[in-house]
């Protein structure tokens, strides 16, 4: 009996409890309607405290969409259930976000379901994916090229999303509806063989059942469940590695491709897919797309549309943020008053006598921060300083290096995001670059043993502490004055 099979599966997999509040996604088609009636039967016969509501999303993609919405509304009334309805112009959304229709529809549908679940205070959102859907999905993944993650197919549980019909084939639900004289809506697009999923369902699976394996649907579904279990076992290990190969800055997520190159290929590909999902929400990537990212050389890009562009720089993979080209600027600054730039950055300057620096024994050792402040030998500096934006071809000799280096290259090596590089000021003395925030000072203007006065330039913030500045300053020159 289908009901008993359904109930046993829910209990065995602990999908939800007898006191759960459930939001059921209902399209009006046979699978979702069968799910609603099975849940109503479960409530009447065994779990009287089970609570549920229906949710229908109108994608505005089919001529019969309005009738489907009306059908679900009437179904809810007949069963005495609360219902939620959502609508969206999926075609317009897909065009604006440069997505295919299927992906756009999925995103808008789940966005609506999450909001409806919040209003109903649901514990779980139930969808009517069947064992047949699972078999189709696994085959589609195989055709596109997939690994263990792809073989998971449709997840039985993903967060608060639950699929309790993955134990039943579509033909079993057809039998259940027919035996109980239950009506449902027909989706005319299900017969359109231009769609790969439909072609697999209508032609390939019947052929496989007839010529190779009568139980192919169940066996493919079992493969998915096995893959899900093994992926869950691997997840903790992947999470530990993830923290070691990403930049650690959640606002500028980066992936260390150099470290990935030393890992087993399967693990490296998994981390790339995780990164692409975190960076752009991309899923269902092909093997060739993942390999394309892993084989990028410095300066090369990977893109999925104009708005989803990645670049490899100094061994790190990062997003290219689309920003407006900043206007050129140039100021003369004598350091007497704060320097305020149009992008919100503010700098202050002061002269410090080396003789007045506190002794080492009074200071805790702090690492100096090139991104926040710099120390220049005041005797080598010509005031006023010129402060301007970075220009093509800018180069200087960083502290400790023998030759010159391009500012652009240095910023990239320091993993400073592209959007920040374009707005950072360049400080020049006598036409020569002395400092760029985030980079070491120029070798020409460095503090030495003979330095008597220091020009300290510091990026101002709400947390600026003059004492902390002196501590950092002391660290920078401690090797000369210890």
List pLDDT tens digits, range 122-163: 999 999 999 999 999 999 988 887 888 889 999 999 999 999
In this structure, are 273 and 200 located in the same domain?
no
Mention every residue, 6+ apart, whose C-beta is less than 8 A from residue 43.
50, 52
Q: What is the pLDDT of residue 366?
A: 34
Phi/psi of residue 402, nearest 5 degrees: -85, -35
In this structure, are 334 and 313 located in the same domain?
no
In this structure, are 117 and 211 located in the same domain?
yes
Q: What is the pLDDT of residue 383?
A: 92
252 vs 319: CA distance, rounded Å: 8
In a domain, residue 343? The reply is yes
The domain total for the chain is 3
In this predicted model, what pLDDT tens digit does every residue of 170-214 receive, in sequence order?
999 999 999 999 999 987 777 778 888 899 999 999 999 999 999
Beta strands in 185-300 (DSSP E): 254-256
Q: What is the pLDDT of residue 422?
A: 77
In this predicted model, what pLDDT tens digit does every residue of 103-124 receive, in sequence order?
888 899 999 999 999 999 999 9
In this structure, are 334 and 315 located in the same domain?
no
User: Hey, what's the torsion of the CAs at 289, 290, 295, 299, to 10 degrees?
Assistant: 70
CATH number of the domain residue 69 falls in:
3.40.50.620
Phi/psi of residue 186, nearest 5 degrees: -100, 130
CATH number of the domain residue 392 falls in:
3.50.40.10
In this structure, are 15 and 54 located in the same domain?
yes
Cα diameter, the chain: 97
Q: What is the pLDDT of residue 469?
A: 42
Q: What is the pLDDT of residue 475?
A: 47
In this structure, are 91 and 174 located in the same domain?
yes
Q: What is the pLDDT of residue 104?
A: 86
pTM over 0.95: no
In this structure, are 305 and 453 located in the same domain?
no
In a domain, residue 230? The reply is no
Domain that holds residue 251: 246-319
In this structure, are 259 and 407 located in the same domain?
no
64 vs 189: CA distance, rounded Å: 11
In this structure, are 433 and 338 located in the same domain?
yes
In this predicted model, what pLDDT tens digit does every residue of 370-393 receive, in sequence order?
888 899 999 999 999 999 999 989
């Amino acid at each position: 009996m289908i009901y008993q099979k359904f109930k046993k599966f829910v209990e065995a997999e602990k999908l939800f409890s007898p006191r759960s509040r459930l939001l059921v996604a209902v399209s009006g088609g046979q699978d979702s309607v069968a799910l609603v009636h099975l849940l109503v039967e479960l409530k009447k016969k065994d779990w009287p405290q089970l609570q549920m509501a229906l949710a229908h999303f109108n994608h505005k993609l089919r001529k019969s969409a309005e009738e489907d919405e009306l059908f679900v509304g009437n179904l809810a009334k007949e069963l005495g259930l609360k219902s939620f309805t959502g609508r969206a112009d999926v075609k317009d959304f897909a065009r604006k976000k440069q997505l295919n229709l299927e992906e756009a529809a999925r995103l808008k549908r789940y966005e609506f379901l999450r909001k409806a679940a919040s209003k109903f205070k649901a514990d779980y959102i139930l969808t009517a994916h069947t064992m047949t859907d699972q078999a189709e999905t696994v085959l589609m993944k195989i055709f596109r090229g997939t690994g263990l993650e792809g073989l998971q197919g449709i997840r039985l549980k993903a967060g608060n999303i639950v699929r309790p019909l993955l134990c039943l084939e579509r033909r079993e639900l057809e039998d259940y509806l027919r035996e109980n004289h239950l009506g449902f809506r027909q989706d005319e697009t299900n017969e359109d063989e231009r769609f790969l999923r439909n072609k697999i369902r209508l032609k390939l699976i019947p052929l496989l059942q007839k010529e190779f394996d009568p139980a192919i649907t169940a066996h493919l579904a079992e493969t998915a469940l096995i893959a899900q279990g093994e992926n869950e076992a691997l997840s903790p290990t992947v999470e530990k590695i993830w923290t070691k190969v990403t930049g650690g800055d959640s606002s500028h997520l980066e992936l260390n491709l150099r470290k990935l190159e030393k890992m087993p290929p399967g693990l490296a590909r998994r981390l790339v897919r995780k990164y692409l999902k975190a960076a752009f929400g991309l899923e269902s990537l092909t093997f060739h797309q993942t390999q394309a990212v892993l084989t990028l050389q410095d300066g090369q890009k990977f893109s999925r549309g104009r708005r989803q562009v990645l670049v490899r720089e100094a061994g790190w993979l990062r997003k290219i943020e689309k920003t407006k080209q900043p206007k050129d600027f140039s100021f003369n600054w004598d350091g007497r008053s704060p320097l305020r730039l149009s992008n919100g950055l503010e700098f202050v300057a002061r002269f410090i006598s080396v003789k007045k620096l506190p002794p080492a024994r009074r200071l805790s050792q702090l690492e100096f921060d090139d991104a926040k402040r710099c120390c220049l030998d005041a005797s080598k500096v010509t005031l006023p300083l010129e402060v301007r934006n970075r220009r093509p071809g800018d180069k200087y000799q960083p502290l400790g290096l023998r030759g010159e280096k391009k500012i652009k290259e240095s910023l990239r090596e320091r993993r400073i995001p592209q959007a920040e590089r374009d707005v950072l000021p360049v400080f020049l003395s006598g036409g020569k670059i002395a400092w760029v925030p985030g980079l070491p000072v120029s070798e020409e203007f460095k503090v030495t043993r003979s330095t008597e006065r220091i020009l300290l330039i510091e990026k101002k913030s709400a947390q600026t502490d003059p004492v902390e500045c002196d501590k950092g300053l002391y660290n920078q020159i401690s090797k000369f004055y210890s």
